[in-house]
Amino acid sequence: MDLHEILKAAIEADASDIHLISGHPPMVRVHTVMTPLDFPVLSPETTHAMFLQMAGPETVDIFKRNKDADFSYQAEGLARYRVNAHVQRTATALAMRLIKTKVPALEKLNLPEVIARLTYLPRGLVLVTGDTGSGKSTTLAAMLEAMNQRYRKHIITLEDPVEYTFRSNRCVIEQRELGQDMPSFASGLKHALRQDPDIILVGEMRDLETTQLAMSAAETGHLVLSTLHTVNAAQTVERIIDMYPANQQNQIRAMLANTLQAVVSQTLFSRIDQPGMCPAVEILLCTPAVRNLVRENRTFEIPNVIETSRSLGMVGLDTAISELYFNGMVSREDAIAQAAYPDKLERQLVA
């Protein structure tokens, strides 16, 4: 069975993800729905051969040791993919995420206008959060491209793996990939600070050391963009603080209050008015009132501040979802299922 033909068929189906698992035909995810492709059932020998076709020697060694490996793969004439190889029921299995090569314009992503304003920030920390597959990387790439077209600055990205590939326009852009160009996010970030950057993209603040370095970079005058797997702004602030030992948390609250500029939390929905996806976006902007809440450990009040600050560009998740529903873009069932407060939103959608 030819891997290239499977990948070609997945692109024609507009799939975002491909799953190659022995005992199943190739499966793809199209607008959140898993669907089989018209190919024979895969054997363990076939899936392992496909892995060897895509992976380099270092990745194969990692896979032999850990039974898991993450890497990127360029399919000639088709696209780039983010790949996870793993073992299930003693056989090699592959999960592949399509990486779109062309960076979309911010105005094409159905995002709130305030996100474009964030690209004018001179310094500080901006976090884009959400579940896996919620569009975080796409939003960040579009923000970087907007800055690339406007400024004459130095941008460094630290990614796992490199997804969108940028072409330096007005900015000079360097892209470093975890495992290939640096051993860890923390190491890459530590050395990036000695490379005269203006803007730094950190693929994910996944550990304490990376978080500390990202906040220090933001505090020393850099604009730092990063992601977390959190579903709302209040949880994002709490997650960062909880990474630190208890005896350091008061100090970190003060540091975070000074450096954090915004939290953008995304949830993706399948559209019902046309094929495709659309995001519901919660936005927290760090006004003096929000900084006080962070400093004083009153993050539970953040949702109320968001709801009462719409004139400043803030918006809560359920408000964003209800707007999508009333605009005929998402179903009532999906809206309620992904709401922060389902019972409350259900009552609002009846009105």
Per DSSP, the residues of 269-289 read EE-SSSSSEEEEEEEEE--HH
Query: In this model, does residue 350 exceed pLDDT 80?
Result: no
The candidate with the shortest Cα–Cα distance to 103, out of 157, 148, 142, is: 142
Query: In this model, does residue 182 exceed pLDDT 60?
Result: yes
Residues above pLDDT 70, as percent of the chain: 100
pLDDT (tens digit per residue) in 247-259: 999 999 999 999 9
What is the average per-residue pLDDT within 321-340? 95
Contacts of 287 (CB under 8 A, 6+ apart): 305, 309, 312
Q: Where in the chain is the domain with CATH 3.30.450.90?
A: 3-99
What is the average per-residue pLDDT within 58-64? 94
* Residue 36 structure tokens: 């089989």
Angle between helices 208-219 and 185-192 (to 10 degrees): 20
Q: What mean pLDDT value characterizes the chain? A: 94
For residue 200, give the H/E element and its range: strand 199-202
* Residue 121 structure tokens: 């920030």
What residue type is 227 in one-letter code?
T
Contacts of 209 (CB under 8 A, 6+ apart): 186
Query: In this model, does residue 229 exceed pLDDT 80?
Result: yes
| Phi, psi torsion values for 68, nearest 5 degrees | -150, 145
3-class SS at 222?
A: coil
Query: In this model, does residue 214 exceed pLDDT 80?
Result: yes
pLDDT (tens digit per residue) in 263-300: 999 999 999 999 889 999 999 999 999 999 999 999 99
pLDDT of residue 99: 85
Q: Are 126 and 223 in contact (CB under 8 A)?
A: yes
What is the average per-residue pLDDT within 55-61? 93
Q: How many CB atoms lie within 10 A of CB 56?
A: 12
Query: In this model, does residue 100 exceed pLDDT 80?
Result: no
pLDDT of residue 88: 96
Strands 260-270 and 124-130: parallel
pLDDT of residue 31: 85
Q: How far apart are CA 281 and CA 320, in angstroms?
A: 6
Residue 102: pLDDT band (50, 70, 90) is: confident
What is the average per-residue pLDDT within 334-348? 93
Query: In this model, does residue 32 exceed pLDDT 90?
Result: no
pLDDT of residue 351: 57
Query: In this model, does residue 19 exceed pLDDT 80?
Result: yes
What pTM, to 2 d.p., does this model score? 0.87
Distances (CA, A) of 265 to 242, 285, 295: 19, 12, 21
Q: Are 33 and 26 in contact (CB under 8 A)?
A: no
CATH class of the domain at 106-350? alpha beta
Q: How far apart are CA 141 and CA 147, in angstroms?
A: 10
Query: In this model, does residue 204 exceed pLDDT 60?
Result: yes
For residue 347, give the H/E element and its range: helix 342-350
| Phi, psi torsion values for 198, nearest 5 degrees | -105, -40
Contacts of 323-332 spanning 24+ positions with Cβ under 8 A = 324/269, 324/278, 324/280, 325/349, 328/272, 328/273, 329/269, 329/271, 329/272, 329/273, 329/278, 330/269, 330/270, 330/271, 330/272, 330/278, 330/280, 331/272
Query: In this model, does residue 72 exceed pLDDT 90?
Result: no
The candidate with the shortest Cα–Cα distance to 155, out of 223, 240, 241, 73, is: 223
Q: Where in the chain is the domain with CATH 3.40.50.300?
A: 106-350
pLDDT of residue 268: 93
What is the average per-residue pLDDT within 48-65? 95
CA 192 to chain CA mean position, Å: 21
The CATH classification number of 3-99 equals 3.30.450.90
What is the average per-residue pLDDT within 300-309? 96
pLDDT of residue 73: 92
Q: Are 23 and 33 in contact (CB under 8 A)?
A: no
pLDDT (tens digit per residue) in 126-174: 999 999 889 999 999 999 999 999 999 999 999 988 888 899 999 999 9
Question: Where does residue 351 rank: exposed (0-12), middle (13-18), buried (19+ CB within 10 A)?
Answer: exposed
Query: In this model, does residue 86 exceed pLDDT 90?
Result: yes
